[in-house]
Structure formats: C-alpha cells, structure tokens
Amino acid sequence: MKRILITGGCGFIGSNFIRHMLKQNPDDRIVNLDKLTYAGNPANLADVEKDPRYLFVKGDIVDADLVKDIFSGQQIDTVVHFAAESHVDRSITGPAEFIRTNILGTFNLLEAAREAWLKTPAPGVDASEKGCRFVHVSTDEVYGSLGETGAFQETTPYDPRSPYSASKASSDHLVSAYFHTYGLPVLITNCSNNYGPYQFPEKLIPLVINNALQGKSLPVYGDGKNVRDWLYVIDHGEAIRTVLHKGRVGETYNIGGNSEKQNIEVVQTICDLLDEKTGKLPGGKDRRSLITYVKDRAGHDRRYAIDATKIRTELGWTPQVTFAAGMEKTIDWYLSNKAWIASVTDGTYREYYEKMYGKS
C-alpha cells in the first residue's frame, strides 16, 4: 500500500488522475492537497469525496509548514505533483503567481520530501529502496518551439518562451537538482497538450466547445496554423502511473499523443461534431461560421511535437485513445455536463465551496 500525496488534484489532470488511480490501484491511499484556485474545483471529484481511501486537504503548496505536516502526519511515501498555475495567457498578464506556485511551491515539496525521506527515520537508507518516489508532472513547453519538422526528445535543450513555461522549466531543474545533489528519488514527465473531461473552459478545446454551444465567436489566435500534439487526459494519467511504478529514478520521460493538429483543424473538428450531435445554429448556419481570427498571443510557440520513444520502449506505454475517439468522448462529456460548465463559468461552484472551506 502506498501513501500518495497528490498536489493540485482538484484541477483538470489531477482529478482525472485520482479517479484513475483509485480504480487501478485500490490498495493505495491518496491525500489531495489543493489550494482551490479558480482552476480547482472539488466537484470534479464529487464521486470519490466519501471514499475512505481519499482525503482532501485545502491548502497551499507554498505553505511549508502545512506541507511538512502532511508528510509526517500522513506518512507520505509517494508524491505526484500536479499543482501549478497552468494557463499561458494568464502567465502573460500576471506572471507573479506562476513564479510563486510553480517554483516556490515545488521547492517546498522537494524540501519536505528530503526531510521526511532522507533525514528521518533512517539516515543512509536509500529512499528509493524504501519505495519512495516523487513524480513531477511537467510540460513539453519547456523545450520551446519547433519548426516544421522534428520532435522534442528528453535530451532537447530547454528553451522556454512564456512565463508559464519558464516557471515549469525552473521547477524541473530544481527537481533534477534534488536527485543529483541529495539523491531524492525523483522522476520527471514532460507531456504535450491534454484534453478531456473537467478541463477549465479557458484552454482551447473546452473554450471552443462552450462558446460553440452558446453560438458565441470562436477566437483563433494568429493564422490558426500553430500545431499542438494532443493527448487524451486518461492516457496521460496511465502514462504517469506507468512512470510511477516502472520508471527509472532520476530519469525524464516525454509523453505525447502522436497526434499533431493545427489549431484551426481542432476548432473545425469541434464545430462539425457539435453540428452533427446537436443540430446547426438557429437559422441553419454551420458552427464554423463562428470562427474569428484574433490578434496572436505574445511569444506564441509555433509547433510542439513529442517523441515518446523512450516511454514506449522502456516502459511499454502508448496512447490508447485516438484524437477522433477522444474528441467524440470529450464533446459527449461536455454535452452531458452542461451544469458543470455553467457552474464553472458563472462561478457558482466557488460560492458553494468557499462556504465549506473558506476563501483561497
């Protein structure tokens, strides 16, 4: 039985991961530490709230005392670290929170793990021999932007371009330093763009689904030809689970969907699927008519693509869900969960949880 601290478990990927872990590893215990920022929504885990294997703690990873208390009080032997400020556009308008959470928060977690696993209770015993592991969940954006060809490998030099990717790059370096300097049993994953249920409707796919359902314009930045490599969120969860169980300590694993698409193709796919599933707009117009090209994002990375050879050949992981199947599942989920989108966009879910847990 593992005692796993999952940070940021009320966000998009973290909540899907917790549900996946409880199903796949029924003997493990999970503590979810989440600050409940605008992106954290405990309703994402309403179905597991009462599970005796699951404990939610509302708190900030930057709060060093709290993090240390959780390590000792809950006898944490495993960390899967998702908590972060995650949206590039927000990092352009307000970078400070990205530096605080993504860099200082990661540092606190590393320090707490170092103290709990390396200093006590048995100095000199290799923490990885005791089964301790710290998985740091990161992004392919740390590698910068690609031209027309090529793909990011684990050896690609870091070249972050946004405050978001720079803060994630910084946290990756700290994690790696704790392995080399102190022997902390860390593993790093760098993954491409995720999509699926429970994604906050500020990111491209849920934003476009939400706007297209309401007949609002669909903002496409620049010429719409920027490329992202899309991965269904449960495939990412299984990749992290695989790295946690089988990965080599100290290593980095790239994770990708082998599914490169231009943004405009993604937006058109959503429009066509919604027209098919819900009928066209009033007046018989296609949803593609809502597409509006807008001013480009500052420093907009042109193309991301992942070479996932290492995780495939070493650990046997490959994505199971194609882009077509994943988009269909995702759209069906948003169509069946309109109340979720409404509560997230009008903020009513926050009022409910603020009454329960207090304001962030």
State the catalytic residues: 140-141, 164
Query: Which stretch in 116-124, 152-160, 189-197, 262-270 sits in contact with ligand NAD by CB under 6 A?
Result: 189-197
**Between 275 and 314, how does the x/- string for binding to ligand TYD read (CB under 6 A)?**
----------------------x-----------------
Indicate whether 12 belongs to the interface with ligand NAD (CB under 6 A).
Answer: yes
Please choose which of ligand TYD, ligand NAD, none residue 79 contacts, taking the beta carbon within 5 to 8 angstroms, the exact cut-off set by kind: none
Nearer to ligand NAD by Cβ, of 10 and 184: the residue is: 10
Please choose which of ligand TYD, ligand NAD, none residue 263 contacts, taking the beta carbon within 5 to 8 angstroms, the exact cut-off set by kind: ligand TYD
Please choose which of ligand TYD, ligand NAD, none residue 88 contacts, taking the beta carbon within 5 to 8 angstroms, the exact cut-off set by kind: ligand TYD
Nearer to ligand NAD by Cβ, of 36 and 271: the residue is: 36
Q: How far is the CB of 351 from ligand TYD (least distance, A)?
A: 25
Please choose which of ligand TYD, ligand NAD, none residue 13 contacts, taking the beta carbon within 5 to 8 angstroms, the exact cut-off set by kind: ligand NAD
Nearer to ligand NAD by Cβ, of 45 and 118: the residue is: 45
Question: 191: closest CA among 270, 253, 260, 280?
Answer: 253
Indicate whether 78 belongs to the interface with ligand TYD (CB under 6 A).
Answer: no
Indicate whether 211 belongs to the interface with ligand TYD (CB under 6 A).
Answer: no
Please choose which of ligand TYD, ligand NAD, none residue 349 contacts, taking the beta carbon within 5 to 8 angstroms, the exact cut-off set by kind: none
SS (HEC) of the chain: CCEEEEECCCCHHHHHHHHHHHHHCCCCEEEEEECCCCCCCHHHHHHHCCCCCEEEEECCCCCHHHHHHHHHHCCCCEEEECCCCCCHHHHHHCCHHHHHHHHHHHHHHHHHHHHHHHHCCCCCCCCCCCCCEEEEEEEHHHHCCCCCCCCECCCCCCCCCCHHHHHHHHHHHHHHHHHHHHCCCEEEEEECCEECCCCCCCCHHHHHHHHHHCCCCEEEECCCCCEEECEEHHHHHHHHHHHHHHCCCCCEEEECCCCEEEHHHHHHHHHHHHHHHHCCCCCCCCHHHHEEEECCCCCCCCECCECCHHHHHHHCCCCCCCHHHHHHHHHHHHHHCHHHHHHHHHCHHHHHHHHHHCCC
Q: Which of 54, 56, 82, 317 binds ligand NAD (CB under 6 A)?
A: 82
Sites of contact with ligand TYD (CB under 6 A):
88, 193, 203-204, 207, 219-221, 226, 228, 263, 297
Binding site for ligand NAD (CB under 6 A): 7-8, 10-14, 33-37, 39-40, 60-62, 82-86, 101, 105, 137-139, 168, 191, 193-194, 200
